[in-house]
Homo-oligomer: A and B are copies of this chain.
């Protein structure tokens, strides 16, 4: 079976790890949001790609981003020198950023770089950036637009969201298109629809290919609340039909065939769905959820 999961970092990465526990390397492809990618102090950072790679490599910190047993001595030194220090640059994490930056400067594609990094980390499942071209996500606020990381990390996702913009016109890579063409099942991970999956679906070539498939979506809301992040508030701010699972269902419309939701949200879905425990508290929970989706 060939499974493709569209994902951001965080909860989506956990579900990818759940699938990885039961699928062979060539059976699972994660197509990962790169709208959060940015260059910081000259260093190319791909937060969601790294979260997925780190969780599959078993080195993701339990906090949900960056590497376990991380230190921040470079960051402390940057802070002492008066440089920007709002982004948590870990010392071990920096190794990945430096290798990625140097490879991009050589002209390598992000897809190839990610493959090499994954190989170095012993990750056998496929991790693909949604595009090799920069496609930054901008968050429009009442005070103007902010690059995603500035809004999310530096401003702690506080400024009200007026609109989300997906910049860039780069298409999907040949690897992404081939993975979607070969897929038996496409899964939308429990990631933010505007900030994580929206950027992927906006890449030319991806949405229409997904629409040909049986698509299963795992809700990023539980009992109407986001497990983490500002989603519940954003559904309201961005004018969703309702700030709950029904709003998500309306947001994706026909694209999703089957919803996987928490039992407390089942009544609101109104379309084909499975109600189960979707809180990915640990490896057992994510493995069980992935297995349940594979049985659908």
- Given A73-B92, A74-B91, A92-B77, A99 and B117 contact (CB-CB distance below 8 Å): no
Chain A interface size band reads 20 to 34
Checking B74, B78, B81, B98 against A121 with a beta-carbon cut-off of 8 angstroms, the contacting residue is B81
Report B-chain residues with C-beta under 8 Å of the C-beta of A93. Answer: 77
From A78, which residue of chain B is reached at the shortest CB distance? Answer: B95
- Given A102-B41, A105-B42, A95 and B77 contact (CB-CB distance below 8 Å): yes
What mask results when residues 87 to 106 of chain A are scored 1 for a CB within 8 Å of chain B, else 0?
00001111110110110010
Report B-chain residues with C-beta under 8 Å of the C-beta of A296. Answer: none
Stoichiometry, copies per complex? 2
Query: A78-130: which residues lie under 8 A (CB-CB) from chain B?
Result: 78, 80-83, 91-96, 98-99, 101-102, 105, 117, 120-121
A71 lies within 8 A of chain B by Cβ = yes
A43 lies within 8 A of chain B by Cβ = yes
Report B-chain residues with C-beta under 8 Å of the C-beta of A67. Answer: 77
A291 lies within 8 A of chain B by Cβ = no
Report B-chain residues with C-beta under 8 Å of the C-beta of A96. Answer: 77, 81
List A residues at the B interface (Cβ < 8 Å).
41-43, 67, 70-71, 73-78, 80-83, 91-96, 98-99, 101-102, 105, 117, 120-121
Could you list some 30 contacts between A and B, CB below 8 A?
Answer: A41-B101, A41-B102, A42-B42, A42-B105, A43-B98, A67-B77, A70-B73, A71-B71, A71-B73, A73-B91, A74-B74, A74-B91, A74-B92, A74-B98, A75-B95, A76-B92, A77-B92, A77-B96, A78-B95, A78-B98, A78-B99, A80-B95, A80-B120, A81-B117, A81-B120, A82-B120, A83-B95, A83-B99, A91-B94, A94-B94
